[in-house]
Amino acid sequence: MNLKYESQSVAKLYFMAAIGLFVGQILFGVILGLQYVWGDFLFPAIPFNVARMVHTNLLIVWLLFGFMGASYYLVPEESQRELYSVKLAKILFWIFLVAGAVIVASYLLVPYAKLAEITGNDILPTMGREFLEQPTIGKIGIVIVVLGFLLNVGMTILSGRKTVINMILLTGLVGLAVFFLFAFYVPDNLVLDKYFWWFVVHLWVEGVWELILASLLAFVLIKVTGVDRELIEKWLYIIVAMALISGLLGTGHHFFYIGTPSYWLWIGSVFSALEPIPFFMLTLFAFNVVNKRRRDHPNKAATLWALGTAVMSFLGAGVWGFLHTLAPVNYYTHGTQITAAHGHMAFYGAYVMVVLTIISYAMPIMRGRKANPMRAQVVEMWSFWLMTVGMVFITLFLTGAGILQVYLQRLTDTPLPFMAVQEKLAVFYWMREVAGLVFLIGLIIYIISFFVNGKEGDEVAVTD
Amino acid sequence: MKETFTKGMARNIYYGGSVFFFLLFIGLTVDTVQKLPKTDNREAITDVVAFGKKIWEDNDCVGCHTLLGEGAYFAPELGNVYERYGKSTEAIKAFIKSRPVEGIKGRRSMPQFNLTEEELEGLAQFLKYANGIKANDWPPNIQG
């Protein structure tokens, strides 16, 4: 089986980079987990904050690589034309990869304050805010890469077939670029600073990224199930409608306790309580169309990832989000391990898994076959279960730690100091670390699955 | 979904709903920005405090600590550290200054940042200002 459009193959580069950076992210995750219980592990060479920057920044960068690769694969096929410029896609790939590598290496090699000094953070200060730690020049680089990418994808869509999937994906990508610009606004007023910081963070992951997620998932589901596009597009519209209707004012659940007016306690609680709905609809949608499938696609692994994305994003973003989203609950859970638990499963379930879904679907085709040999798929499905179960337990142990933290530090009549509480939680952190190692093993098996060949004759069954 | 619910209706809900709630969000943002002077302790933002905020950022303090509940969960909340340290900026400065370079064996350790006296003063004043922000009575108690 060959690609419908030659230019789609540029996605392969992006997917390989994404997986490589994913490995780096998880290795630093394991280091961080260990530092929670072995406080001076790698200290002072790699302090916790540095390892955390590497962990979270690698996540963001590899997901962006994944989104870009997914777009380069999907957009030509949906638009029914070649990509506007393969050359531009390749140039931007190398710029982004080198810039990303330099940024992450600089975190590890230079003390952060020194990095701020070298890169001229005094001229336009944007550093030192959570997830947006990149030097200002790095942020400018990200903007340039994303604009070039949008030009490439936008030109392809505008002169091709404009499907619902294309348009919703493009809206999500444009939103991603626009809201990132708030990363350059760092006022002296801490409350204003925090308020608009969420314009990047919340409006990304609980806003426009959901458009990207839903359109990628819809694309893969059309391909593997053969279900009528009309039905899928109707679902897609209503899911992203609910995502924005709940998620825009749902931003208010971050405005409870940062110095903003108290009406946000109500608005944030009510609207963010609706945020699980689009994720639940996503689950119904995925199972519904798989049940109605008109063909049995040989890529079973891709279908498993697609269903897994729907379920795990509902659990991680929907259920674990709702757990602490009501203002009276959040009063006690704000800034505890409960937040960490939710963050881990939501990012994995929604964004990691959707990228792995489209990689699972597209990578075999880019390697010249409709699906991988069954033996390779079985290995891939093992990695699915190991990573997913690993993440479920990371989340459960962090939730256990969080509940105890809330009780010991905030709810009891004799609240204990932060560090005294942390020491009592050590057993939960150790178990989280074990779950993290299971996740890492799953990831190693995932990578091995790309190198598993079929037996003689096995190939025939899967190429048509 | 029933046939009576058409794709056109779904599309209208998407466009109508998102535009409506986006505009509402912008309206609420304008209102919030206008009401902030009542709660955000802006009268305390001096040049020293602004300088201190820059020191906070240049050393990525939020990579371990939370500030008003946001940040990393590895080290204590600092939005109320001024009160926790007996309303003493000197105590805050003394703590930061006294961190051992090699850390404390086996324990979570704060790096020695080698801050100048001016930087320490700015950071402490910034934390004092943050303590004055009215955040709907959060945190629940002195432990943060």
Q: What length is written for chain A? A: 464
Q: What is the pLDDT of residue A457?
A: 57
Model confidence at A461: pLDDT above 50: no
Quick check: B7 and A230 CB within 8 A?
A: yes
Same domain, yes or no: B5 and B75: no
Comparing CA positions, the residue from A180, A235, A193, A158 lying closest to residue A67 is: A180
CB-based burial label for A412 (10 Å; 0-12, 13-18, 19+): exposed
Same domain, yes or no: B31 and B64: no
**DSSP code, position B65:** -
- Look at chain B and report how many structural domains it folds into: 2
| pLDDT tens-digit map of A229-270 | 999 999 999 999 999 999 999 999 999 999 999 999 999 999
Quick check: A189 and B109 CB within 8 A?
A: no
Domain that holds residue B1: 1-38
Q: What is the pLDDT of residue A1?
A: 64
Same domain, yes or no: B34 and B54: no
**Omega into A44 within 30° of 0, i.e. cis?**
yes
Quick check: B76 and A38 CB within 8 A?
A: no
A138 neighbors A116 (Cβ within 8 angstroms): no
Tokens, residue B32: 């919030």
Same domain, yes or no: B140 and B90: yes
Same domain, yes or no: B120 and B52: yes
Rounded to an integer, what distance in angstroms lies between the CA atom of residue B90 and that of residue B87?
9
Quick check: B57 and A245 CB within 8 A?
A: no
B39 vs A248, A259, A334: nearest CB: A259
Model confidence at A463: pLDDT above 80: no
Q: Which helix (H) or strand (E) holds A374?
A: helix A374-406
CATH number at residue B93: 1.10.760.10
B14 vs A190, A240, A410: nearest CB: A240
DSSP A222-244: HHHH---HHHHHHHHHHHHHHHH
Distances (CA, A) of A71 to A173, A256, A365, A447: 9, 36, 15, 22
Rounded to an integer, what distance in angstroms lies between the CA atom of residue A346 and that of residue A336?
16
Distances (CA, A) of A1 to A156, A413, A462: 24, 67, 10
Q: What is the pLDDT of residue A459?
A: 52
CB-based burial label for A16 (10 Å; 0-12, 13-18, 19+): middle
B59 neighbors B134 (Cβ within 8 angstroms): no
> Where do runs of H (alpha helix) occur along A86-135?
86-109, 112-118
Same domain, yes or no: B4 and B54: no
| For B8, nearest residue in chain A (alpha carbons) | A234
Q: What is the pLDDT of residue A464?
A: 42
Residues of chain B with pLDDT > 90: what percent? 97
Same domain, yes or no: B31 and B61: no
Q: What is the mean pLDDT of chain A?
A: 97
DSSP A393-439: HHHHHHHHHHHHHHIIIIISSSPPPHHHHHHHTHHHHHHHHHHHHHH
Rounded to an integer, what distance in angstroms lies between the CA atom of residue A217 and that of residue A221?
6
Query: B111: which chain A residues are within 8 Å (Cβ-Cβ)?
Result: 43-44, 47
Model confidence at B3: pLDDT above 80: no
B68 vs A127, A194, A416: nearest CB: A194
Same domain, yes or no: B60 and B116: yes
Q: What is the mean pLDDT of residues A438-461?
A: 85
Q: What is the pLDDT of residue B62?
A: 98
Q: What is the mean pLDDT of residues A56-85?
A: 98
Same domain, yes or no: B133 and B120: yes
Q: What is the pLDDT of residue B88?
A: 98
Confidence of residue A2 (pLDDT cuts 50, 70, 90): confident
Q: What is the pLDDT of residue B4?
A: 86
Comparing CA positions, the residue from A95, A40, A33, A27 lying closest to residue A64 is: A95
Quick check: B71 and A335 CB within 8 A?
A: yes
